[in-house]
Structure 1
């Protein structure tokens, strides 16, 4: 797909990969950007950068976990700014904790943002794309959507789910000329992962590398876009020797050492 002259809506656009995608789209000639995030101030800062590139930009300070709020925002945006040609679902949260130490509120936050929020806005935009018989939906998964990682159980589960969601939608929407793409970056150096203990031997990517890979994948017509040589190596390794990759992941994960009192006695 050639993004020049198109209108794109990007969630999670105030920072990290979402911000980088917005800036890369602007540099590549997109006509209009609708930026969605909860942080109004950060959205304004990103919008100022994009406006300086001569691209029309609209900010939507919306909480994706609030369906009514999202419905109103999307309806108004479509009415006031015309059809949306590209939807990029980039909003997400991650909590790193051994499973036996997890807490339900953190699990609910990951599911609410990574899955329910994505579902809510995708349903609203996809229905309109089907009506206009044109559109591309990009769902940002992760390498952890292919290889689940210790200490990231719920996050990995949501990213696996995003791949399944994308595959199902791809089959349903193809006849309506709406493409569905999954973007799978490996560990990316963003605000979201600053509090996470990084896995051994993994070299983090930059958000700009992910954004450039997305633009390249769109031009090639890819259905799944793996970002970086580490991702390709890990996926091929998992296909050829999944038992070996599980051992590698366990060795690479920052698992806590067994200590008295670390886990509750459930006997």
Structure 2
């Protein structure tokens, strides 16, 4: 009923998942800083998440983490699991999972991945997801996870339709107040949940991302920013006016002392089309 990607880029780990099941984010993914990530699905057993992560934390590899979950479970034939640790990865599909069901795991220069799905339109869902993951090397973990999920959805995804999707990813020092959370997003009931998840990720990156592609506030750009801020009612020095607007708009994490972040500039332009 579900397809997912468990992925790693350096010290960042995450899971993206989509399903006809509406509240899939409450069941499938779990990630632990410095340890790894896991997705449990099909006839999901939520306890697999902590068992797998505890196993990884103890120094076991992903295959052993899968065994720790499935070996004592009499219903393992109905379950599916993806695990990625610091230097290992594994995917597992029980023989009684509903067709089409299967998965693939591997490792590129940035880290490991495990892709799996059940009740899919066909095996090409998983193969297209793997191709998308490998083609996106160089992008951020969250962008790669969502691109991989969208590739699976475009290939057919869950044969029953799309209703729920989720993304959870962590990296040391990332996120609000440097809590370590890159993204924690859920779409619980939407006609096109994977695309809605992608939209939410763009907002998440704007609000929680740090400054990037910073342009100096000088010359014509400084004049433009000042005019746009004045149009919104912000006055004073350019730095103070920009800081006041960005704080109210929740963009303070993207503020840079020596200029303006490209995404903040785009948001300012979108907010002032008539300036």
Q: TM-score, normalised by structure 1?
A: 0.34
Name the structure where helix makes up a greater proportion of residues: 1
Name the structure where strand makes up a greater proportion of residues: 2
